[in-house]
Amino acid sequence: MTPSNPRLVRILIVVVGLGLYVYGSDARGLLSADEPRYASIARTMAESGDWTTPRLDGEPWLEKPALLYWMGAAADRLGVQEDLATRLPVGLLAVAFLLLFHARLRSLFGDDAAALSTAVLGTSAGFAAYSNAGVFDLPLTASVGAALLCLLDWAEDESRDRLLPAFGALLGLSVLAKGLVGPAVAALAVLSIVRNRGVFPVAKALFAPRVLGPFLLVAGPWYLLCYLANGQAFIDEFLWKHHVERLYSSSLEHVQPWWFYLPVFIAALLPWTPLLAALRIREISADSRLRFFAYWALGTLLFFSVSTNKLPGYILPALPPVAALIGTALARRGARAAWFALSAATLAATPLAGAILPQALADGITRAWPPESLPWLGLAAALAALAAVTLAASSGRPKTAAGILALSTAAALFWLRLATFPALDRAAGSRSLWYEISHQSDQICIDHLRRHVRYGLAFYSRNSLPTCEEDPRPKVLSGDPPELDDTSFSIDP
């Protein structure tokens, strides 16, 4: 059964959230090209005192707005370890959002629906993964998600509008998180209300001074100051290239087919994806609040699918509404035992992911598969979870089955952190590499390195490794995996 004590549920959210999103984060350094780039910008912001213009290597970097950089710069000022400065605030923000998510759903749907929905969201693969990353996707999801949660009362009854100013302020925060994406997602969700009330009544309410004022008060100052500091470059780079051109141009090199987000969404919702079968279209259509969640989720999927440029994290804002739909369905009437069993069976992917993830991130999944050895102990644990979930579901206890599945998933994800973070650091990051070569950094220049290695080394070395074209040095670091040209010294991946 789901816990009926709201205080106990909140404690579980904090404990499990900190365990999954925060604990052990220092076991790996910065990964991909994005984390070190954003961490560098945040560190520069903290050290320079310029909290207006994001800068990378001393030059304005106007791809994204400032919220993540502010979070990282504030953490840096508080003495947080430098490569955790952007990642740690994201993990804490994820926990805070889950608490808000639970509170809002509890006020509208009751204890069981709120607890189940929060369990689905908090242990979904996509939410857990991006709550561990110092990138923009979770801050966007949390801010626009919090804004839309404020509309649920109003979606049901237009006289219940006391949270509309909070909606405006939080939507402004989403604009600081990732530009105009937040208002676009919100507008598509609000179409569910427009369907019943018409365009003009909804627009009149949402563009009223009590809503528009908080929105502009939160979002406006940074946009104005950044424009004044950078002029036309802010318009051309930030607004045009990264808002308009992103929708149709291939110049950003993230082109994917229209169906890209279908498999991404299926993977991001694991292990709960099979429980989508528990949803009933008629039930959703009959409830204005559930219909609002459906428009929110489908609108997000549609908006990002029509864009030419696509990255997996873009789809993250669709997870909270889908989690709410699944949680409320499970609380009301449960689901077939077969769907629970299929969900639990997907936990077998966790030990397999642990076996291939480090190499997959470094070299691609085709090189990482098949794994050198199968994680038999992890597979046995997944089988035990499958048996327990199936037994509970087939005995007519769907809430118990969901609770076991949530706890088993949390345990599996926690194990995955402990087991893979050190290996990820060695295989797909640059921190270990920097530690190995830092004692002779004054003799090294870099040449033909992969992008994530270049950005990572730039962060950890504080740009002390020049390119060989800029400053030829006795030792050249190049290749994939990186190696020094001195045959007496090489770095293993």
Report residue 60: phi and psi, to 5°.
-55, 135
Give the burial class of 95: count Cβ atoms within 10 A of its Cβ; 0-12 exposed, 13-18 middle, 19 or more buried. buried
SS3 assignment, position 463: coil
CB contact set of 176 (below 8 Å; sequence gap of 6+): 65, 66, 67, 143, 218, 219, 222
Rg (CA), the chain: 23
Tell me, what DSSP letter sits at residue 234? I
pLDDT 10s digits, 106-138? 999 999 999 999 999 999 999 999 999 999 999
Which residue would you say has higher pLDDT here, 251 or 30? 30
Q: Which of 29-33, 41-45, 89-93 has the lowest mean pLDDT?
A: 29-33
The ranges assigned to domains in the chain are 6-335, 337-426, 431-484
Token pair, residue 485, equals 């040209």
Q: Which of 247-261, 403-417, 444-458 has the lowest mean pLDDT?
A: 247-261
pLDDT level of residue 225 (50, 70, 90 thresholds): very high
Asked whether 366 and 356 are in contact (CB, 8 A), the reply is no
Token pair, residue 260, equals 């890209």
d(CA 441, CA 489): 13
pLDDT number for residue 417: 85
Tell me, what DSSP letter sits at residue 245? I
CB contact set of 449 (below 8 Å; sequence gap of 6+): 457, 477, 478, 479, 480, 482
| Among 368, 444, 410, CA closest to 23 | 410
Give the burial class of 88: count Cβ atoms within 10 A of its Cβ; 0-12 exposed, 13-18 middle, 19 or more buried. buried
- Average pLDDT for the chain: 90
pLDDT number for residue 371: 65
- Give kind and range of the element (H or E) at residue 192: helix 181-197
pLDDT 10s digits, 434-484? 999 999 999 999 998 988 899 999 999 999 899 998 999 999 999 888 888
Asked whether 121 and 319 are in contact (CB, 8 A), the reply is yes
The pTM assigned to this predicted structure is: 0.92
Report CA dihedral (32, 38, 43, 44) to the nearest 10 degrees.
Answer: 120
pLDDT > 90: what percent of the chain? Answer: 71
d(CA 298, CA 491): 47
pLDDT number for residue 489: 43
pLDDT number for residue 310: 86
pLDDT level of residue 248 (50, 70, 90 thresholds): confident
For the chain, the helix, strand and coil percentages under 3-state DSSP, each to the nearest 5: 70, 5, 25
pLDDT 10s digits, 274-298? 999 999 999 999 999 999 999 999 9
Asked whether 317 and 141 are in contact (CB, 8 A), the reply is yes
Cis, bond preceding 60 (omega within 30 deg of 0)? no
Asked whether 190 and 144 are in contact (CB, 8 A), the reply is no
- Specify which residues 60 forms β-bridges with: 55
Tell me, what DSSP letter sits at residue 199? H
Which residue would you say has higher pLDDT here, 251 or 109? 109
d(CA 376, CA 372): 12
d(CA 430, CA 427): 8
For residue 237, pLDDT beyond 70: yes
pLDDT level of residue 244 (50, 70, 90 thresholds): confident
For residue 376, pLDDT beyond 80: no
Dihedral of CA 121/219/248/366: which sign? negative
CB contact set of 7 (below 8 Å; sequence gap of 6+): none
Q: Residues 88-95: what's their mean pLDDT?
A: 97
**Which residue has 């961490």 as its token pair?**
39
Task: Please report, for residues 36, 37, 49, 283, 433, the alpha-carbon distance to residue 78 in angstroms, rounded to integers and kept in the order given.
Answer: 19, 20, 14, 49, 27
pLDDT > 70: what percent of the chain? Answer: 92
Strands 475-478 and 55-56: unpaired
DSSP, residue by residue, 310-331: --GGGGGGGHHHHHHHHHHHHH
pLDDT level of residue 487 (50, 70, 90 thresholds): very low
pLDDT level of residue 486 (50, 70, 90 thresholds): low
Which residue would you say has higher pLDDT here, 242 or 271? 271
Q: Residues 182-193: what's their mean pLDDT?
A: 96
Cis, bond preceding 371 (omega within 30 deg of 0)? no
pLDDT number for residue 488: 40
pLDDT number for residue 493: 42
Q: Residues 323-344: what's their mean pLDDT?
A: 94
Token pair, residue 331, equals 């609380």
Residue 310 is which amino acid?
Answer: K
Report CA dihedral (342, 346, 347, 349) to the nearest 10 degrees.
Answer: 160
For residue 64, pLDDT beyond 70: yes
For residue 270, pLDDT beyond 80: yes
pLDDT number for residue 4: 63
For residue 367, pLDDT beyond 50: yes
Count of all residues that appear for the chain in the document: 493
pLDDT number for residue 251: 65
Q: Residues 99-107: what's their mean pLDDT?
A: 97
pLDDT number for residue 379: 77
pLDDT level of residue 164 (50, 70, 90 thresholds): very high
CB contact set of 297 (below 8 Å; sequence gap of 6+): 318, 321, 322, 325
Dihedral of CA 374/380/383/389: which sign? negative
Longest Cα–Cα distance in the chain? 75
| Among 347, 357, 493, 350, CA closest to 420 | 357
